[in-house]
Amino acid sequence: MPLKAEYEPSSAAWVREQVDLYERTNGREGGTLADTGLPVIIVWTLGAKTGKLRKTPLMRVEHAGEYALVASKGGAPEHPFWYYNLVAHPDQVTIHDRDLLIDVVVRQVEGEERRQWWERAVEAFPPYAEYQIKTDRRIPLFVASPLP
């Protein structure tokens, strides 16, 4: 059952608009990152502080029914806000992938599993490699697995 809570749209206009368009059309519109043509998903999380439903477009990195969620924030020195939402509520996450709503549990990956998922992520969105070079922090990578 998709995550339910009071929805608080992003303070960033482009995020609000993309989420709204994506959800109204099941990703037929708003389903790519700007003019790149690369697909995105919408990740629903509960706010770590507010408990409100937050929706964030992220690059679509899918493999065998699981998804990578890359907390790159464009190589910024700090984590994106949604990173803290996943850490606080890893079992209260929904992924909207086109016409699918998938309840997932997330886990931050390390070691060989992280290496494999990082390669998949960079293949799907090559700028991730540049973002890692840009920042001193190790970009967190989560894997989202569907709940049974």
- Residue 12's pLDDT band, with cuts at 50, 70 and 90, is very high
Domain 13-146, CATH 2.30.110.10 — does that match? Answer: yes
Residue in this structure with the two tokens 């059309």, named with its chain if needed? 25
Per DSSP bridges, beta strands 100-108 and 62-63 are unpaired
Q: Report pLDDT digits (tens) over 116-134.
A: 999 999 999 999 999 999 9
What are the structural domain ranges in the chain? Answer: 13-146
CB atoms within 10 A of CB 98: 15
Query: Please, what is the angle between helix 111-124 and helix 127-134, to 10°?
Result: 120
Three-state DSSP at 23 gives helix
| Residue 84 pLDDT greater than 90, yes or no | yes
Whether the predicted pLDDT of 34 surpasses 90: no
Residue type, 117: W
Candidates 97, 126, 123; CA nearest to 31 is 97
pLDDT of the residue at 35: 76
70 pLDDT exceeds 80?
yes
Q: Which of 76, 33, 115, 25 is nearest to 143 (CA)?
A: 115
pLDDT > 70 in the chain, percent: 100
Bridge partners (DSSP) of residue 63 are: 66
